[in-house]
Structure 1
Amino acid sequence: MTLRIAFISDAWHPQINGVVTTIENTCSTLERAGHQIKLITPDQFITIPCPTYPSIRLAYACNRKLKRLLNEFNPQRIHIATEGPLGIAARRYCLNRKLAFTTSFHTLFAEYVNLRFKIPVSWGYGFLRWFHAPAKKIMVATSSVESDLKARGFKNTLVRWSRGVNSDFYYPRDKTFISLPRPVCMFVGRVAIEKNIDAFLSLELAGTKIVVGDGPQLKELKARFPDTVFAGFQTGEPLANYMAAADVFVFPSRTDTFGIVMLEALASGLPVAAFPVNGPVDVIGSDKVGRLDENLKKAIAEALQLDAQDCRNYALNYSWANCTRQFFYNLVPAFEKSRDSKNNSIVEHWVK
């Protein structure tokens, strides 16, 4: 028996981030098990640029087409991943038809909006509580996020949906790919204000700082930090080569709910230096693979002393198969009276 699973997300290609990586790997794992996945994403609609971040496209006037797509697919399970225009339209669709659905909490939306538009964080969480309130379950990546949402008044059932890493792609490689003074301290990710990259680049460090990525803050950071190497947007083998050729991965963000890129760095043999905040606290569970300190310079110096093989071994504990198993078990029947007794056998079909 297979299931028809509708997955609605405002985050999708050409974006490359942890949300897209998680959705892509989860859905492909489910499809390999024989389940039918209907991904509803902005590329299927007329879009407009996101304010302050034009490379992100948001679906516009999407209600009618989303309704048609879901009616045609007739899903048995519905998951709404994001709180954007598509997520709001899918929420409305489900409520109008009394369909049960799950949601997930991927990003600190309220904090991001506060950084970009100065809208009070309390207002942002008011919107988020409203958005997620009808969901049967909210999937979160870590216990820290769960505790934070409970403290902020979320009454839903909160369940775990962790993350994975492709360790066959991210692995230790030749360090000579980068021929610059060492140690090489690297950040990989979206070059945007919420990533707090200037906290890394403003440090006085020996060796070379490298930023791999693109985003709305790139021009500003290039002007402010001319001694930093900005490698631009990278994907595929070049990205994996850059990652593995560094000596330490620096993750200065204070607003990530997880940070898959840290797993990718660890799988590549890189220790991680970060602040002791949600995300790094949950991912870097061992002093053998990273250092967390409010003094980021100290964290970097100590992380440089750690063993690459320990980092690699730690990352191997995370797999997309386990991540997908969690996701699948968390889903609820769209029509709650149609609970199927074969749910466990469905799961076993693809987790073996």
Structure 2
Amino acid sequence: MNTRIELRNNWSKEEVEEVYNLPLLELIYKAATVHREWHNPEEIQISTLLSIKTGGCPEDCSYCGQAARYHTDIKVQALLSTEKVIEHAQKAKESGSSRFCMAAAWREVRNNRDFDRVIDMVKGVNEIGMEVCCTLGMLTEEQAMRLQEAGLYAYNHNLDTSEQYYEEIISTRTFDNRINTINNVRKAGITVCSGGIIGLGETHTDRISMLLTLATMPEHPESVPINALARVEGTPLENNAKVDTWEMIRMIAVARIIMPSSMIRLSAGRIEMTDFEQGWCFMAGANSIFTGERETLLVTPNPGVCEDMQMFTTLGLKPMKKENKTTEMSSCEDK
């Protein structure tokens, strides 16, 4: 008899509040149960993120070291060559990643030679057999169609926080701008990657509201990243307190329960977590991570591939395969 929890898009604020406020161990138990009904708990999707264009962004996102108006240690880097990006993607595949995400510090996509080059990058990464994801800022429906035709699998566009708190964090665009881009991605037939950040100074009500927005979309995002604020020196939020890991676990567990079919990604903040803490996140329903060598062009560092493989061995986890194809892992002993 199949008792799997129903996939719903009609959650009420009161229902999500009730889930969010459960005693923590009870919440984790419920989330772990849902996770096992919908996913293989032994598998973790490994994604690699590459910053293909870094810094110089005109936005004023209070958490972001890539905003041109803040004085940070992040160096501006022009758009990488297509060949360099494909080289990074091939290395990521050999290290066990099944998804390759390309990030550009743009406010919005413009129809120019840089976008033409991104289209070539998408085609190239798709040809080596990886799921291709991009995060490039705001996107029109026509631009989304171009990306889809090039083979883009997913588009990341986080809500960041609740609609009510959004203007406290960003003033150069609106929450509705975020929603419009996600809608344009959906119309083009690209899967959606959208989540948020905790530790911005938001309330528990804001966290509940953000999750409610995601869970009441006509289709849940296929990937939901849960990020802890990376406190970047030189940004307005540099002195915010470190996010407590139990708060991350609570967010992951609630997201798992109300969006059971989605991949819940343990994202920014993982570098500050022990294997023990990450294990609790996986128990609560996280089944996706970003990984990569520390020296790769990541603006927010992640643990290295070898560290993650050792953690997987300890926890009895394994990288998720793409379309049931065997992923050949490079040896950490050679690095």
- TM-score, normalising length: structure 1: 0.36
User: Of the two structures, which has the highest relative contact order with CA contacts closer than 8 Å and spacing of 6 or more?
Assistant: 2
Q: Which has the larger radius of gyration?
A: 1
